[in-house]
Amino acid sequence: MPSAPVAVGPFGIESPAFSRRAALKAALAGTAALALPAGVPAAKAAADARRAAPRRYAMKKSINLWAFPYPERMNLEECLRLAKAAGFDGIELNYDLDNDLSPKAGTAEYQAIRRLADKIGIEISGLCSFLFWPYPLTSNDPAKRARGLELAGLIAQAAHDLGVQNVLVVPGAVHIPWRTDHEPVPNDVCDQRAREAVGVLVRQAEKVNVFLNIENIFFNGYLMTPMEMNAFVDSFQSPYVRVHFDTGNIAMFQHAEHWVPILGTRIQNVHLKEFTKKGTDFSLEAFRPLLDGTTNWPALLEAFEAIGYRGFLTFEYFHPYAHYPEALIYQTADSLDRILGIKTG
């Protein structure tokens, strides 16, 4: 006697459970889907949390200019256009001593940059600078302190001329591990000098309507906890002194998602820096491209969501690719799309 035929399920897999009744139900479901009126979308598949955030976060994508080979291989306009093409909402620009944003430029040059950004259709998410390291606001050298204060004022004025409100400020440093010319500053002296310097700057910031966003560095040995940061920022009793929270700077021994609820709505701007706790290199080389580290991104985004943060998330990375640098920009945009739940597949 011949054996009963074995039902074949989806993908050709033999399945006794795949009966004629099941086949009929599947056919009817397919027919019903085809019968949907034009313009009525089919039910959307649930997001797969293995591929991207299962919810959409209403924060804005930004990238710092340090991720581009500027100015050696790309000019500023090329960087702006690449950021826009990759899908970024904004780009963070850097103030130095020689290039487009520097003491060599003035109001006319900054306004031209703003017009260019507007024409391209990309926002300027803020201004940043490495000049706080050679000219710390808390240096033991009075000349360096004075120059640092002067440069910080110029950065605030540049932001005003660019129509930008966010200025990152490093208020001081007990220690700067990557500079051999920095003499350590006692903790109490560092704190006193930092408060004096920011107290001077806030008067100018109020006049030009820019935020002084104090960044958590950790490597500098100052403002090492979110409670210390809150006490420093709150002491000025000014809405123009805020927090620029960097997710990677504290990642060596702490966790970014623990800081966010404590800093709360003081956070005005954010650097997304990926960090790996698996390595032993505690220099700038420990920072990685987004998702190539140990940051708990789902927990961190939920923490930002809980405080109602709706500003920029700016990827900061100091090593533009030597070959095909556009790849880093597009990879970062894709990573941010997944972190923010924009891309789900």
> Is residue 26 in some structural domain?
no
pTM for the model stands at 0.85
Is residue 282 domain-resident? yes
CATH number where 331 lies: 3.20.20.150
In the predicted structure, residue 60 carries a pLDDT above the cut 90: yes
pLDDT at 14 (0 to 100):
42
Q: Under a CB-based contact definition with an 8 Å cutoff, are residues 299 and 260 in contact?
A: no
Read off the pLDDT of each residue in 24-31 and give the average, rounded to a whole number: 47
Which residue range forms the structural domain that includes residue 102? Answer: 60-339
Q: Is residue 14 part of a domain?
A: no
**CA 22 – CA 115 distance, rounded (Å):** 63
Distant-in-sequence, close-in-space partners of 169: CB < 8 Å, separation ≥ 6: 132, 152, 198, 201, 212, 213, 214, 215, 244
pLDDT at site 280: 63
CB 236 within 8 A of CB 199: yes
Within a domain: residue 139? yes
Task: Give the pLDDT confidence of 121-141 residue by residue, as tens digits.
Answer: 999 999 999 999 999 999 999
Q: How far is CA 253 from CA 30, 225, 258, 282, in A?
A: 54, 11, 12, 11
- Cβ burial of 301 (10 Å; 0-12, 13-18, 19+) is buried
Task: Return the bridge partners of 127, or none.
Answer: 93, 167
Give the Cα separation of 139 and 136 in Å (integer).
Answer: 5
Q: Name residue, tokens 């019968």.
A: 35
Task: For residue 9, tell me if it sits in a domain.
Answer: no
Any domain includes 28: no
Q: How many domains does the chain contain in total?
A: 1
Percent of the chain with pLDDT over 70: 84
Q: Does residue 171 fall inside a structural domain? A: yes
Distance of alpha carbon 246 from alpha carbon 212, whole angstroms: 15
Could you tell me if residue 116 is inside a domain?
yes
